[in-house]
Amino acid sequence: MKQIVLSAFFLVLLGLTAFSQDVESPAPQGFDLLREDIEHGKIDTIVYASETVGTNRKALVYTPPGFSKNKHYPVLYLLHGIGGDEKEWFNHGVPHIIFDNLYAEGKLKPMIVVLPNGRAMKDDRATGNIMAPDKVQAFATFEQDLLNDLIPFVEKTYPVKKDREHRAIAGLSMGGGQSLNFGLGNLDKFAWVGGFSSAPNTKAPEELVPDPAKTKEQLKLLWMSCGDQDNLIRFSKRTSDYLVANQVPHIYQVIPDGHHDFKVWKDNLYHFAQLLFTPAGMPE
Ligand code: FER
Q: Is 126 in the pocket of ligand 1 (CB under 6 A)?
A: no
Lowest-pLDDT range, 24-38, 97-111, 173-187? 24-38
Q: Which residues contact 169 (CB under 8 A, 6 or more apart)?
A: 76, 77, 79, 178, 179, 182, 183, 190, 192, 193, 194
Query: Could you tell me the distance, in angstroms and rounded to a whole number, from the CA of residue 197 to the centre of ligand 1?
Result: 10
Expressed in percent and rounded to 5, the helix, strand and coil fractions of the chain are 40, 20, 40
- Higher pLDDT pick, 16 / 50: 50
pLDDT digits (tens, 9 = 90+) for 172-181: 999 999 999 9
pLDDT digits (tens, 9 = 90+) for 215-244: 999 999 999 999 999 999 999 999 999 999
Minimal-distance CA residue to ligand 1 atom 6: 199
pLDDT surpasses 50 at 115: yes
Q: Is 130 in the pocket of ligand 1 (CB under 6 A)?
A: no
pLDDT surpasses 90 at 138: yes
Q: Is 199 in the pocket of ligand 1 (CB under 6 A)?
A: yes
Predicted local distance difference test score (pLDDT) of residue 7: 44
Indicate which atom in ligand 1 lies nearest the CA of residue 131.
Answer: 7
Q: Is 174 in the pocket of ligand 1 (CB under 6 A)?
A: yes
Q: Is 136 in the pocket of ligand 1 (CB under 6 A)?
A: yes
Indicate which atom in ligand 1 lies nearest the CA of residue 136.
Answer: 7
Predicted local distance difference test score (pLDDT) of residue 168: 98
Average pLDDT value over all residues in the chain:
93
pLDDT surpasses 70 at 162: yes
Predicted local distance difference test score (pLDDT) of residue 280: 79
Mean pLDDT of 57-84: 98
Q: Is 227 in the pocket of ligand 1 (CB under 6 A)?
A: no
Indicate which atom in ligand 1 lies nearest the CA of residue 81.
Answer: 11
Among 131, 203, 259, 262, which residue has the most ligand 1 atoms within 8 Å of its CB, making it the best to mutate? 131
Q: Is 208 in the pocket of ligand 1 (CB under 6 A)?
A: no
Predicted local distance difference test score (pLDDT) of residue 220: 97
Predicted local distance difference test score (pLDDT) of residue 25: 80
User: What domains lie within the chain, and their CATH numbers?
Assistant: 3-281 (3.40.50.1820)
pLDDT digits (tens, 9 = 90+) for 33-55: 999 999 999 999 999 999 999 99
Indicate which atom in ligand 1 lies nearest the CA of residue 172.
Answer: 11
pLDDT digits (tens, 9 = 90+) for 181-212: 999 999 999 999 999 999 999 999 999 999 99
pLDDT surpasses 70 at 111: yes
**What's the Cα-to-Cα distance from 284 to each of 65, 117, 250, rounded to whole Å?**
32, 34, 9
